[in-house]
């Protein structure tokens, strides 16, 4: 039985006849649709929907994207990503605001075929070890190949939802550290730290934020003194330099305050401004670069790469009332024509 959510004309942004790539809201809808197509690509595989029976193609071909390659996880052989090329018909003029390629990643699917592998990768997100997975390594190689083929990082856009946005975020960080800032659209990206946004009492939440920043600053100072060698100091300088190297990369984070998986980004960025106002900016400078877990891992010579630590970002917050967690975490909210949102640009200096 075919689900309505798989059918583009019933559930997708079919109201967009011709994409105006200069409009951010249309870029958002198209990128969300493309990511949804990757989910359905895996549904097609599981249900053996091939050729004219395939339902995934409409989610990108409606906007003149053509499938270049499919990314398949070597552990469970499921489809988790797609590389798409924008191939506009001759009667449609090209736009300087449009990508040449989009590399898109789906999130977690809880069906019997995908559940064990996807949930394992969700756990790796929480443990900040996603960079060690073969799925991420394949994604990063594919992105580098697409950039090489396109001739410019600005021509390759990244997009993902949930677990897929975690892969896109981590890949975007790696590319930015080498000086290649790819336009990146992250829908409901996991914030891999305590979900303080669920605390409703503002003074309590602010107190926890301050205590956390002071703890991380103190722990960082203590570990630096304990190591005490020039090699350790050099390594810390390199880590700080890598964080600074990311500040020119501004990914777009699409978050819903009622989604505890991604809502932590709201407080993460707002906290910087609050700490500056109360004169505690020096603590926050350390806190925004580290988690307690990453500091301890560094002391134990273990590599940890927290996903949510970002110097800069454009935060797009859904202000439309959502009825439940599924709606708050769902991808379809981002192409809803009735969406009400506000955008905040955070630049690190």
Query: What are the tens digits of pLDDT across the range 286-333?
Result: 556 655 454 444 444 456 567 888 999 999 999 998 889 999 999 999
Averaged over 11-20, what is the pLDDT?
A: 95
Instruction: Break the chain into its structural domains and give their ranges.
Output: 4-187
pLDDT over threshold 50, residue 12: yes
State how far the Cα of 161 lies from the Cα of 188, in Å rounded to an integer: 6
Instruction: Indicate the pTM of the whole model.
Output: 0.85
Helices 134-150, 163-177: crossing angle, 10 deg rounding: 50
Averaged over 19-26, what is the pLDDT?
A: 96
CA angle, 161 then 165 then 168, to 5° = 140
Which of 80-84, 93-97, 190-194 has the highest mean predicted lDDT (pLDDT)?
80-84
Return the pLDDT at 312.
Answer: 93
Which comes out higher in pLDDT, residue 144 or 234?
Answer: 144
Single out the residue of 108, 244, 232 nearest to residue 166, CA to CA.
108
For the chain, the 3-state helix, strand and coil shares in percent, each to the nearest 5, are 50, 15, 40
Percent of the chain with pLDDT over 90: 67
């Amino acid at each position: 039985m075919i689900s309505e959510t798989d059918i583009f004309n019933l559930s997708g942004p079919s109201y967009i006849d011709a994409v105006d790539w200069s409009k951010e809201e249309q870029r958002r809808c198209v990128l969300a649709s493309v990511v949804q197509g990757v989910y359905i690509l895996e549904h097609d595989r599981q249900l053996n929907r091939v050729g004219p029976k395939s339902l995934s193609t409409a989610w990108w071909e409606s906007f003149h994207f053509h499938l270049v390659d499919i990314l398949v996880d070597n552990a469970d052989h499921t489809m988790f990503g797609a590389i798409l090329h924008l191939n506009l018909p001759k009667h449609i003029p090209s736009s300087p605001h449009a990508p040449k390629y989009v590399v898109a990643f789906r999130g977690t699917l809880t069906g019997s075929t995908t559940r064990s592998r996807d949930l394992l990768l969700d756990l790796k997100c929480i443990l900040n070890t996603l960079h060690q997975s073969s799925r991420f390594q394949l994604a990063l190689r594919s992105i580098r190949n697409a950039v090489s083929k396109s001739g410019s990082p600005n021509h390759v856009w990244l997009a993902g939802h949930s677990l897929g946005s975690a892969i896109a975020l981590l890949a975007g960080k790696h590319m930015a550290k080498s000086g290649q800032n790819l336009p990146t659209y992250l829908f409901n990206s996991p914030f891999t730290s305590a979900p303080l946004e669920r605390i409703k009492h503002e003074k309590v939440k602010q107190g926890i934020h301050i205590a956390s920043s002071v703890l991380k600053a103190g722990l960082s100072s203590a570990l630096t003194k304990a190591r005490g060698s020039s090699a350790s100091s050099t390594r810390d300088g390199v880590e700080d330099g890598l964080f600074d190297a990311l500040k020119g990369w501004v990914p777009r984070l699409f978050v819903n305050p009622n989604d505890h998986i991604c809502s932590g980004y709201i407080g993460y960025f707002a906290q910087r401004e609050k700490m500056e106002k109360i004169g505690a900016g020096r603590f926050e400078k350390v806190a925004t670069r580290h988690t307690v877990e990453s500091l301890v891992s560094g002391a134990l010579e273990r590599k940890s790469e927290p996903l949510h630590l970002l110097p800069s970002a454009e935060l797009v917050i859904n202000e439309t009332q959502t009825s439940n967690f599924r709606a708050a975490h769902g991808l379809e909210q981002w192409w809803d024509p009735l969406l009400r949102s506000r955008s905040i640009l955070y630049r690190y200096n």
